[in-house]
Amino acid sequence: MKLEFTQDQRAFRAEVRAWLEANVPAAPLTSFDISREGFEAHRDWERKLNEGRWGMVTWPEAYGGRGLDLIRWLIFEEEYYRAGAPLRVNQNGIFLLGPTMMEFGTDEQKARFLPRMAAGDDIWAQAWSEPGAGSDLAGVRSTATRDGDHYVLNGQKIWSSRAVFADWAFGLFREPGSERHRGMSLVLFPLDAPGVTRRAIARMDGEQVFAEIFLDNVRVPVTDRLGDEGQGWHVCMATAGFERGLMLRSPARYQVAAKQLIKLYQQHKDHLPASMAERVAQSWMDAEAYALSIYSTASRLDAGGTIGAESSTNKIFWSELDIALRQTALDILGPGAELVPGLSNTDTTGDWLTDYIFALSGPIYAGSNEIQRNIIAERMLGLPRA
Amino acid sequence: MQFAFTEDQIAITQAAREMLVETCTPADLRKRLADESAIDTARWQTIREMGLPGLIAPENLGGMGMDMIDLIGIAEAAGYVALPEPLLDTAGIAIPLLASLDDNKGWLARAIDGAIVAVGHPVNPFVADADIADALILADGDDLHIVERCNVTLTRQASFDPFRALFRVDWTPDAATKVAGGWGDTAARGALLAAAQMIGLGQRCIDMAVAYAKDRNQFGKPIGSTQAVKHLIATAQVKIEFARPVVHAATAELALGTLPAAARVAHAKIAAGEAADLAARTSVQVYGAMGMTWEVDLHFFLKRAFALRYAWGTAADHRATVIERITTLPTGPDTTFAIELAT
């Protein structure tokens, strides 16, 4: 066990830091959810990252990456969050679909999609959930009907983040008449294809952060299916593993938030009870514990190990620590917590209310925490299925 | 950066774990209570033959010349079986302390050779295993003394954990017993070993709850097939998963001796204590009324976890260390590892 970065790793950190300091926009970009301008500004940032070959450092060089290991990916992420760089508008592509495509895609698909994904030329949305199929994803009803060398897609998808402005989506569809886990395929489709209608859904604060997708006889070539026909469930579970595992939520995200929380506490501590220091300390400890756990996992994966049901423990831990951390900040703000950031709230340490609202969704998306607890109980601990 | 144990560390931990699981079953614990013996001589002999008490001792004195990181997995295994014998107090506390003293009056060699030296660190009000010790390391203010057991008066303090042999020690400091040196990192070692044991104890409680939940039928099916029970157990397992790496990191960073390293030890003790507490209470809940009985073995593990939460510094003590660290030194993702901060 050696908890010290090598000279090479330190040099890599310095290189990332220098590039980010020179390139991260001075002013925050407009949200990619509220306007086309904000979305395109984030796409431009992805292009800039890609020009520096910083888009996805773990990817092979052929697809725009640097072929680096997971420890260097963690270092990159630490510097990325430290620098306050823009949110990754193509998160669904680079963190979820990309790794899945490398595992299940054909050479033609990889060559066609991955470089454009890394470059931000194609921004991706996920089209899995349906009004009748959330936690029970095997209840998906949308269909892919084979018609020669095409599929005809019909149905309705929901809760698709970024889908209002995104270019492509990866969706889960079933062969008509098939049931449950059988007969499903993962199909890629352009969001501007004839027959696709997108409708934004307003979140509780009015922000339109996700969307419904309606599919009415949308024709896509069968070559845009990822993985074998009828193997969609298997492919999706691999993607979900990436999602809950270490790709979706970098520890650095919470460590930076904990640092901001400590700063907020110090600004207000003269009129706070001593117990507040303990809650701040707890949030810092939880963010650190998550980071240490991910470093341990990354060391194991870099040595050829695998990640299994523990990805479900990660998802529960980060989603719960996120809420507790934001709530601690709001409790420090006290009566000022309810004020809408940017309008009435003049606190400069962060937009705690918006972050709190987003954190509330953490235990729901990427597989609800109840489903994760079932996975831990059944696959890690061997308890019987219901 | 290598956050993983070596193959050698995994092998020695596995060997020790197999021995402990085989020789220290709940039936063995019950037998020892019935015998009223102060130590299981056969098991202690096996532990000594494997060289475990001298794991961290210098090789030229007959030790194995290893480090705390080599012992921490064994500490988790000792917790998993609720080992009553003072393996960890000897290997991880007494011997490193004796080795750090300028003059140990020959007790280091004797301890490596099998003598038991009990440690009366001021953070703990009572001395564990003083009755079976050949000598005690005691504090008189800042001075350390090594006192033979025949020169102290012991008064047993009954613990909730019947295997915790705690004693009030009455003694008179003497120039002849005083040794040169201080406590050094003894309290941190004690906190780390308690934390590692609590990880093992918590996992044992969960494993027992899982086994019972598979076996126990209500409403015509195993209670472990219901989500209400599954989610209780899974929640406790999550706590353990995010305490264990903290214990490992704190052990690897112990030697730095800086405030960030001390805060990681404190973090480890807090996190492991909370994880073990939740696991033990969850297991009682899963067992239902049976969990409250003497008949079910769970209480051996619950009691040890309970006692260790308060040994080597309480959660409140350790929180104060964490608060000092986060309010006086830089935080953030580039300060995860203690070596990144010089102080």
**Which residue in the set B206, B229, B333 is minimally distant from A256, CB to CB?**
B333
**Confidence check: pLDDT of B56 > 80:** yes
> Of B164, B179, B194, which residue sits at a domain end?
B179
Reported as a pLDDT band with limits 50, 70 and 90, residue A245 is low
A199-241 pLDDT, tens digit per residue, is: 999 999 888 889 999 999 999 999 999 999 999 999 998 887 7
Per-residue pLDDT, averaged over A380-384, amounts to 97
- Give residue A345's pLDDT: 59
- Give residue A34's pLDDT: 86
Which string of DSSP letters, residue by residue, matches B235-298? HHHHHHHTTHHHHHHHHHHGGG-SHHHHHHHHHHHHHHHHHHHHHHHHHHHHHGGGGGSSSSTH
Catalytic-residue membership of A243: yes
- Give residue A347's pLDDT: 60
**Environment class of residue A36 by beta-carbon count within 10 Å: exposed (0-12), middle (13-18) or buried (19+)?**
exposed
Residue B77 CA to chain centroid, in angstroms? 10
Q: Which residues of B touch A380 (CB under 8 A)?
A: 234, 237
Per-residue pLDDT, averaged over B180-198, amounts to 97
Q: How close, in Å, is residue B269 to chain A by CA atoms?
A: 12
Residue whose C-alpha is closest to residue B300's, from B20, B30, B19, B38: B30
Q: Picking from A299-303, A355-359, B174-178, B308-312, which range would have the lowest pLDDT averaged per residue?
A: A299-303
- Is residue B76 a part of any domain in this protein? yes
Residue whose C-alpha is closest to residue B137's, from B117, B158, B153: B117
**Which residue in the set B6, B233, B338 is minimally distant from A377, CB to CB?**
B233
Residue whose C-alpha is closest to residue B190's, from B127, B108, B115: B127
Q: Which residues of A touch B66 (CB under 8 A)?
A: none
- Give residue A308's pLDDT: 79
- Is residue B115 a part of any domain in this protein? yes
Per-residue pLDDT, averaged over B22-37, amounts to 95
Domains and CATH numbers, chain A: 7-89 (no CATH), 124-232 (2.40.110.10), 245-380 (1.20.140.10)
Are B207 and B65 found together in one domain? no
User: Mean pLDDT over all residues of chain B?
Assistant: 97
Where residue B47 falls (left for φ over 0; alpha for ψ -120 to 50; beta otherwise) is alpha
**Confidence check: pLDDT of A350 > 90:** no
**Confidence check: pLDDT of B37 > 90:** no
- Give residue B324's pLDDT: 98
Are B228 and B120 found together in one domain? no
The answer to whether A317 contacts chain B (CB < 8 Å) is yes
> Of B152, B179, B206, which residue sits at a domain end?
B179
Question: Cβ atoms within 10 A of the Cβ of B294, count?
Answer: 7
Q: Which amino acid is at B297?
A: D
Per-residue pLDDT, averaged over B41-59, amounts to 95
Tally of domains in chain B: 2
The answer to whether A286 contacts chain B (CB < 8 Å) is yes
B145-186 pLDDT, tens digit per residue, is: 999 999 999 999 999 999 999 999 999 999 999 999 999 999
Are B14 and B86 found together in one domain? yes
> Of B179, B210, B241, which residue sits at a domain end?
B179
**Which residue in the set B206, B246, B333 is minimally distant from A82, CB to CB?**
B333
Contact status, residue B256 vs residue B181, Cβ threshold 8 Å = no
Are B87 and B233 found together in one domain? no
CB contact under 8 A, A291 and B323: no
Q: Picking from A332-336, B239-243, B280-284, which range would have the lowest pLDDT averaged per residue?
A: A332-336
Q: Which amino acid is at A316?
A: I
**Confidence check: pLDDT of A359 > 90:** yes
Active-site residue (options: A243, A310, A320, A378): A243
Are B152 and B95 found together in one domain? yes
Are B191 and B108 found together in one domain? no
**Confidence check: pLDDT of A366 > 80:** yes
**Confidence check: pLDDT of A248 > 80:** no
Reported as a pLDDT band with limits 50, 70 and 90, residue A150 is very high
Cβ-Cβ contacts under 8 Å for B323 (sequence gap 6 or more):
A277, A278, A280, A281
CB contact under 8 A, B3 and A1: yes
Look at the pTM and tell me if it is higher than 0.95.
Answer: yes
- Is residue B72 a part of any domain in this protein? yes
Pairs of CB atoms within 8 A across A/B: 168
Q: Which residues of A touch B248 (CB under 8 A)?
A: 1, 292, 296
The answer to whether A292 contacts chain B (CB < 8 Å) is yes
Q: How close, in Å, is residue A102 to chain B by CA atoms?
A: 26
Element (H, E) at A213: strand A210-221
How far is Cα A300 from Cα A306, in angstroms, rounded to an integer? 7
Residue whose C-alpha is closest to residue B330's, from A266, A221, A282, A377: A266
Are B223 and B266 found together in one domain? yes
How far is Cα A354 from Cα A316, in angstroms, rounded to an integer? 21
- Give residue A239's pLDDT: 80
**Confidence check: pLDDT of A183 > 90:** yes
Q: Which three-class secondary structure state does DSSP give residue B61?
A: helix
A75-113 pLDDT, tens digit per residue, is: 999 999 999 999 999 999 999 999 999 999 999 999 999
Per-residue pLDDT, averaged over B32-50, amounts to 93
**Confidence check: pLDDT of A348 > 80:** no
- Is residue B1 a part of any domain in this protein? no
Give percent above pLDDT 90 in chain B.
96
Q: Which residues of A touch B2 (CB under 8 A)?
A: 1-2, 299
CB contact under 8 A, B332 and A82: yes
Per-residue pLDDT, averaged over B91-107, amounts to 95
CB contact under 8 A, A81 and B322: no
CB contact under 8 A, B327 and A262: yes
Task: Tell me the H-state helices in B41-179.
Answer: 41-49, 68-80, 87-88, 95-100, 107-112
CB contact under 8 A, B334 and A370: no
- Is residue B52 a part of any domain in this protein? yes
Q: Which residues of A touch B70 (CB under 8 A)?
A: none
CB contact under 8 A, B245 and A293: yes
**Confidence check: pLDDT of A328 > 90:** yes
Element (H, E) at A234: helix A232-244
Are B154 and B71 found together in one domain? yes
**Confidence check: pLDDT of A73 > 70:** yes
The domain that holds B295 is classified in CATH as 1.20.140.10
Are B99 and B243 found together in one domain? no
Are B109 and B212 found together in one domain? no
Domain coverage including residue B45? 7-179
- Give residue A244's pLDDT: 62
What are A320's two structure tokens? 């719960």
Give percent above pLDDT 90 in chain A.
85
- Is residue B168 a part of any domain in this protein? yes
How far is Cα B308 from Cα A37, in angstroms, rounded to an integer? 58
The answer to whether A122 contacts chain B (CB < 8 Å) is no
Task: Tell me the H-state helices in B142-242.
Answer: 186-215, 227-241
A297-309 pLDDT, tens digit per residue, is: 999 988 888 887 8
Are B117 and B235 found together in one domain? no
A39-52 pLDDT, tens digit per residue, is: 999 999 999 999 99
- Is residue B244 a part of any domain in this protein? yes
Are B203 and B329 found together in one domain? yes
Question: Cβ atoms within 10 A of the Cβ of A368, count?
Answer: 15
Per-residue pLDDT, averaged over B187-191, amounts to 98
**Which residue in the set A262, A288, A310 is minimally distant from B241, CB to CB?**
A310
Q: Which amino acid is at A307?
A: I
Question: Cβ atoms within 10 A of the Cβ of A139, count?
Answer: 13
- Give residue A310's pLDDT: 82
How far is Cα A309 from Cα A264, in angstroms, rounded to an integer? 36
- Give residue A296's pLDDT: 94
**Which residue in the set A6, A266, A280 is minimally distant from B1, CB to CB?**
A6
Residue A41 CA to chain centroid, in angstroms? 19
The domain that holds B127 is classified in CATH as 1.10.540.10
CB contact under 8 A, A289 and B336: no
How far is Cα A318 from Cα A244, in angstroms, rounded to an integer? 10
**Confidence check: pLDDT of A145 > 90:** yes
**Confidence check: pLDDT of A177 > 70:** yes
CB contact under 8 A, B1 and A9: yes
Bridge partners of residue A2, in order along the sequence: B2
Nearest chain B residue to A71 by CA distance is B1
**Confidence check: pLDDT of A324 > 70:** yes
- Is residue B2 a part of any domain in this protein? no
Per-residue pLDDT, averaged over B112-138, amounts to 97
Contact status, residue B157 vs residue B168, Cβ threshold 8 Å = yes
CB contact under 8 A, B242 and A317: yes
User: Mean pLDDT over all residues of chain A?
Assistant: 94
